[in-house]
Structure 1
């Protein structure tokens, strides 16, 4: 009689348990090594708000820093230091202006200059005018003036920058060019904030006309985003 062929035994899966235990232990090891103080708190605050269920809208974005392409820790130390200093200020800004961010009146970003609170010009000014629509903007400007008093930003320097799109001003109007219009809008924002109690000595102003657009001026939406007044919490190296 021919001997019956034995079926090959199924391979053991006992190793999977050991492998899983090893991966878990490695994960725990690296979690223990992680130091939250070394992360860029400015970027982390914006990412956290964007990913949370309470995300106030699309107004919060993260701009890549000048050191984003460097992988070693030594080169990244300036960015880490900035994150540690401005992280609480970013969190405070996100929580303070959630209603305005949701309605697209304000956007909050960060770059190498610091934290940028952008006021949409169309929500604060009439077209071609530097006069603030105070009835529509009073509550936002009051909230902004209170924000300057917060412990998270105490003693910091600020700059208010005016920006326009690339369309020329109306002939025969009050302003001969977008340079004067952008500077006047920045100055008027500071004047109103001063009326609400902020210390003008901590501020500087600038007008950039259409020289620093955020988006292309080829579309109406892009031009609307470019018409803005930026209130910047300055990093220590940008006074």
Structure 2
């Protein structure tokens, strides 16, 4: 799954990387502790090309009467994405990319304490999570999104059984619907050599924590 992540790439660099037109009110960066319900950086494709814009992380199906009208849907399983009533229309017509630098996962020690790990690309490049989006609300629609997840590859299975679906640049056009159909073929665990991870301090267990020290490796 994906429950917390970081994003440190400047907004103008994001727009250039994804060849997207940036919105005026993008979330502030760097943010080393992006939490559910925060505004996140999302790339989507439209009639005028790609857009980089903010969305609420927490997908809201149209039948939710309030933002708390049901479970908090920050993740969507790739295996059932096309079948779940909440996600199937978005899977077909509203796919997007969420921009990140790295993400966190947790294991537990013998006493049951939550031990955080920071996961990032070995090459230091930004990460593009596969996502889906949905406008929610009638009078003033609020764009919302979820990260698509898949079974963990062997690299990450040591710390968790799920992981975000990470897409390489060559796959972005297909996921965004710019290169025809066939995006379902992308919904598999990523290359074993792409990601690395290290233990970080438990400060990040708090959703109020901030700062670059959150991603620093613990001393050996």
**TM-score under structure 1 length normalisation:** 0.25
Q: Which has the higher strand share?
A: 2
The structure number with the bigger radius of gyration is 1
Which structure has greater helix proportion? 1
